[in-house]
Amino acid sequence: DTEVTQTPKHLVMGMTNKKSLKCEQHMGHRAMYWYKQKAKKPPELMFVYSYEKLSINESVPSRFSPECPNSSLLNLHLHALQPEDSALYLCASSRVGTVSYNSPLHFGNGTRLTVT
User: Binding residue for another protein (CB under 8 A) from 18, 26, 38, 41?
Assistant: 41
Bridge partner residues of 106 (DSSP): 93
Task: Tell me how far apart the alpha carbons of residues 87 and 48 are, in angstroms, rounded to a whole number.
Answer: 19
Number of residues that bind another protein (CB under 8 A): 25
By CB under 8 A, is residue 45 in contact with another protein? yes
By CB under 8 A, is residue 109 in contact with another protein? yes
Nearest CA-CA partner of 92 in 106, 113, 110, 71:
106
Query: Would you call 80 helix, strand, or coil by DSSP?
Result: coil
In the complex with another protein, the residue whose CB is nearer, 17 or 109, is 109
Give the count of beta carbons closer than 10 Å to the beta carbon of residue 98. Answer: 5
| Least distance in angstroms from the C-beta of 91 to another protein | 10
The footprint of another protein (CB under 8 A) covers 2, 31, 33, 40-43, 45, 48, 50, 55-56, 88, 90, 92, 101-102, 104-110, 112
